[in-house]
């Protein structure tokens, strides 16, 4: 397979390993093959003393990574195969590896960073966005829940920002990503070439992470004006701290401050369009995740994922939005008022903390 065709490109320049997602026509959505290639290369470079850091990036200016290959997941379950389960197992293992990687990883995010893309970058030591970045965990919009470590990194954002982003599935821009703590630095897209030039000519010391931080501080900024999350933060923290989703929606509908009323009304409309069971499970998942370790968060997400294709709304969401494209998902149930809280809790029954005995079959 030529470099042009390979879904992941690997190159070394000036002791830095560059991993490039190479499916720009598919918005660099992750396949199982891509996950395996990323994992194998990261392991190789981790053992190579000549490699001091890794840059994770993507071809194209539309998306760093728009998520996982959802159509494949749908078709795998529909045909009775297990590829969708293997994909989640391997993807989560890759994400954990990134969170615990022994060398600094710089994630360069230009364009969309959604779902599985967030799983790749949130464990990186240095998370760099541009003015073209739009990031989020939009899973509830297709009847799923924020996975790929979302139950770990979202609850650890300031106040209720993570709950708001996870339950609503809203996307944010660079200023909000910096404010929320989902990115560390912002450079302009026109500076990417300059960043590469600097990386190619750096003189390495025994502290590569500090050297990279100094470089990014020279090129970029860690704050931007115009954060909508900052402006709405008082209302977000108040409403999304409510005990359950019906209470959250009711609080939004009774917002009395003129400064927040339009936002509250629009947010309530967004919640009304999402899968009720996915939102309710997300709320429970994030609140549990706040008190769990990284590995236990991923284990709990996998525990839910094994059940979700049969018991959740993902298959219907993918059918409506990606397969048939009628954009009219028949959520089960169709409204929060009809959702049985016991059904939500049942997804978490029998959850056991992560162990090292989980079978691995695809990327060996």
Residues labelled catalytic: 68, 116, 139, 147
What are the residue ranges of helices labelled H in the chain?
32-46, 70-78, 83-99, 116-121, 150-153, 161-168, 174-180, 192-200, 208-219, 228-239, 245-253, 258-273, 276-289, 294-311, 314-318, 341-346
Per-residue 3-state assignment (H helix, E strand, C coil) for 133-147: CEEECCHHHHCCCCC
Question: Is residue 340 classed as helix, strand or coil in its secondary structure?
Answer: coil
CA distances to 28, 122, 125, 157 from 230, rounded to whole Å, are 30, 20, 24, 13
Rounded Cα gap, residues 72 and 232, in angstroms: 37
Please provide residue 45's backbone torsions phi and psi, each rounded to the nearest 5 degrees.
-70, -30
Handedness of CA 31, 32, 34, 39 (dihedral sign): positive
- Cross-strand pairs, 77: none
Order of strands, edge to edge, in the sheet holding 8-13? 8-13, 16-21, 53-58, 105-109, 126-129, 185-186
**Token duo for residue 186:** 């912002």
Rounded Cα gap, residues 162 and 178, in angstroms: 13
The structure tokens 């839910």 sit at 304
Rounded Cα gap, residues 129 and 173, in angstroms: 9
Give buried/exposed letters for 309-342 (b at 16+ CB in 10 A, else e): beebbbbbbbbbbeeeeeeebebbeeebeebeee
Q: Report cis status (omega within 30 of 0) of the bond before 24.
A: no
Rounded Cα gap, residues 37 and 7, in angstroms: 9
Rounded Cα gap, residues 286 and 268, in angstroms: 20
């Amino acid at each position: 397979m030529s470099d042009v065709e390979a879904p992941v490109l690997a190159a070394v320049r000036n002791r830095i390993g560059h991993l490039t997602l190479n499916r720009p026509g598919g918005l660099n959505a992750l396949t199982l093959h891509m996950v395996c290639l990323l994992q194998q290369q990261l392991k190789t470079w981790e053992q190579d003393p000549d490699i001091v850091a890794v840059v994770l990036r993507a071809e194209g200016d539309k998306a760093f990574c728009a998520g996982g290959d959802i159509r494949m997941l749908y078709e795998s379950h529909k045909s009775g195969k297990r590829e969708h389960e293997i994909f989640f197992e391997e993807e989560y293992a890759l994400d954990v590896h990134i969170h615990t990687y022994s060398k600094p990883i710089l994630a360069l995010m230009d364009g969309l960073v959604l779902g599985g893309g967030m799983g790749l970058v949130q464990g990186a030591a240095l998370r760099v966005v541009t003015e073209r970045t739009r990031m989020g965990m939009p899973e509830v919009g297709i009847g799923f829940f924020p996975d790929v470590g979302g139950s770990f990194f979202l609850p650890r954002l300031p106040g209720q920002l993570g709950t708001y982003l996870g339950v609503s599935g809203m996307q944010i821009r660079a200023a909000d990503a910096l404010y929320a703590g989902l990115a560390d630095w912002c450079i302009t897209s026109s500076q990417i070439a300059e960043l590469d030039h600097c990386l190619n000519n750096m003189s390495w010391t025994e502290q590569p992470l500090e050297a990279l931080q100094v470089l990014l501080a020279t090129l970029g900024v860690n704050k931007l004006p115009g954060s909508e999350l900052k402006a709405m933060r008082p209302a977000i923290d108040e409403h999304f701290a409510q005990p359950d989703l019906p209470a959250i929606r009711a609080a939004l509908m009774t917002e009395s401050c003129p400064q927040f009323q339009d936002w509250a009304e629009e947010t309530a409309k967004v919640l009304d369009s999402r899968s009720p069971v996915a939102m309710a499970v997300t709320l429970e998942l994030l609140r549990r995740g706040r008190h769990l370790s990284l590995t236990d968060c991923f284990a709990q997400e996998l525990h839910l994922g094994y059940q979700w294709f049969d018991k959740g709304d993902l298959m219907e969401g993918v059918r409506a939005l990606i397969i048939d494209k009628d954009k009219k998902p028949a959520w089960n149930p169709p409204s929060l008022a009809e959702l049985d809280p016991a059904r939500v809790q049942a997804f978490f029954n029998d959850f056991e903390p992560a162990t090292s005995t989980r079978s691995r079959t695809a990327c060996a």
